[in-house]
């Protein structure tokens, strides 16, 4: 099963602007319908194991509320090279994921899964 992960505005329930993610390094894997690493979406299937191992939160959900996204950022910001390595995530990708989730958290966004 595939998974694309999107950043949505929690009020309008529409995709967040790609410009908000302009400073996020474009190293995250994009999917068929999701964008590349500098945009408001990425290929969640590639990073689901890592994100769940670090945060305890599955990306395989229809919606992750902003309060949970903020908690995820705190956990993702704590470096753990072993967990990243064991899930096939390099340090650049781990850093980009932290930055991506921080943009969502700081802009009252939610994370939406589509599969």
Position 35 scores a pLDDT of: 58
Determine the Cα–Cα distance for residues 58 and 10; give it in Å rounded to an integer. 19
Position 37 scores a pLDDT of: 47
Average pLDDT, the chain: 92
- DSSP conformation letters of the chain: ---EEEEEETTT-SBPPGGGGTTS-TTSPP-SSS--TTSSEE-HHHHHHHHHHHHS--S-SSEE-HHHHHHHHHHHTS--HHHHHHTT--HHHHHHHHHHHHHHHHTTEEEEEE-
The full set of domain ranges for the chain reads 4-114
Question: Which pTM does this prediction carry?
Answer: 0.93
Give per-residue pLDDT as tens, 30-79: 865 555 545 899 999 999 999 999 999 999 999 999 999 999 999 999 98
């Amino acid at each position: 099963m595939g998974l694309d992960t999107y950043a949505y505005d929690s009020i309008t329930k529409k995709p967040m602007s790609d410009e908000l993610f302009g400073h996020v390094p474009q190293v995250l894997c994009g999917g068929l319908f999701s964008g590349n690493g500098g945009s408001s979406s990425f290929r969640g299937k590639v990073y689901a194991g890592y994100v769940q191992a670090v945060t305890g939160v599955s990306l395989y959900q229809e919606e992750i509320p902003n309060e949970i996204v903020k908690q995820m950022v705190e956990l993702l910001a704590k470096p753990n090279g072993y967990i990243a390595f064991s899930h096939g995530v390099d340090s650049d990708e781990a850093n980009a994921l932290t930055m991506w989730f921080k943009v969502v958290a700081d802009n009252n966004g939610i994370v939406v899964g589509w599969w």
